[in-house]
Chains A and B, each alone.
Chain A
């Protein structure tokens, strides 16, 4: 029993050491630019919504040559949906496809990101649309925080949740 407790302590210590020793840091930028997102709905047809970028979090890592490199970023954008005569809500898909074409579950950090988006929905009463996934989702080149530069570049898709609400799925 005692051995079990010691093993657990060692395991937990190693876990936290690993977490806090990684050479990375994050920067948060305020957004402001808008981008357009499209969807095709079986009842309403083609529609689009403008989203305003709220914040962009850029996560950097130090390379072995002590250079700084953007590892991944998360972006939060808010879309006005009050002009639509039906409810329009965000749905963040629980699965992703990586560079190798593997379908897998979104990892814990991305679920936290999803929770943040959900907070915005609850608190602000607005539809929130997130863009910019982790590096594992797409290539480094296309994973730059493009929401600030390219219209509709992030997370467009086909989105239908039920007959009463439109849900947008990130992929």
Chain B
């Protein structure tokens, strides 16, 4: 009788192990990955808002809201897509955004509100034409409209991209293409100069 119980217990443990292993290995489709990301983001945002997170930084210009939101995105992205993004990564990106924005304003090349909206509209229109399941999943998971996703939820990223583009174009205007250098090599060299500038500004 005792042997039977031992045998049954072993079978139960093995079965439960197999089931949990199978469940852990179910691959989500793109849409579900999007909704998972949204779910984790909302949870992380709520948690970060409850327990204010502070990270030692020299930049006092990064607001608590910015930090909370960026961390929530990175935490959600890490969980949903299995890619490790740390708090330090989030902080580094926010510092970059801050110093580049300052630089662009100082040199009078910060994009106007009209330019930012035009840039976002181009991406939103492109998405409308070529739907992408991950984004559809995020929109559904966040329970927002497509316009809210592009013009509000994603605005910071597009704005920063435009700032970077304007600075990159400034760097290009100051550095000519070398003899024998093709467009791609030139672009990469200018990106490297942009990275040098970021390090210098930090």
The chain A residues found within 8 Å of chain B, CB to CB, are: 36, 38, 40-48, 81-82, 85-87, 97, 101, 103, 124-126, 151-152, 156-158, 160-164
Contact = CB atoms under 8 A, between A and B. Distances in A.
Interface in B180-194: 182-185, 187-188, 191, 194
Contacts of A163: 85, 89, 92-93
A82 B25 contact: no
Contacts of A44: 157-158, 160-161
Nearest to B132: A38
B164 A85 contact: yes
B49 to A, nearest CB: 19
Contacts of B157: 41, 43-45
B154 interface: yes
B13 interface: no
B77 interface: yes
Nearest to B191: A87
A40 B134 contact: yes
A166 to B, nearest CB: 11
Interface of B: 25, 27, 30, 33-34, 73-74, 77, 81, 83, 85, 89, 92-93, 123, 126-127, 130, 132, 134-135, 138, 150, 154, 157-158, 160-161, 164-165, 167-168, 182-185, 187-188, 191, 194-195
What is the interface of chain A mostly: helix, strand, loop, or mixed? loop
Contacts of B187: 81-82
Contacts of A161: 83
A90 B89 CA distance: 21
12 contacts: A36-B130, A38-B135, A40-B134, A41-B157, A42-B74, A44-B158, A81-B187, A82-B187, A86-B161, A152-B130, A158-B81, A158-B83
A107 to B, nearest CB: 20
B81 to A, nearest CB: 5
A117 B184 CA distance: 17
A34 to B, nearest CB: 12
B81 A160 contact: yes
Contact of B25 (A36, A42, A103, A158): A103
B5 to A, nearest CB: 34
Contacts of A162: 89
A160 B33 CA distance: 14
B85 A160 contact: yes
A160 B77 contact: yes
Given A85-B161, A160-B83, A40 B138 contact: yes
A147 B144 CA distance: 32
Nearest to A152: B130
B130 A46 contact: no
Contact of A86 (B150, B158, B164): B164
Nearest to B155: A45
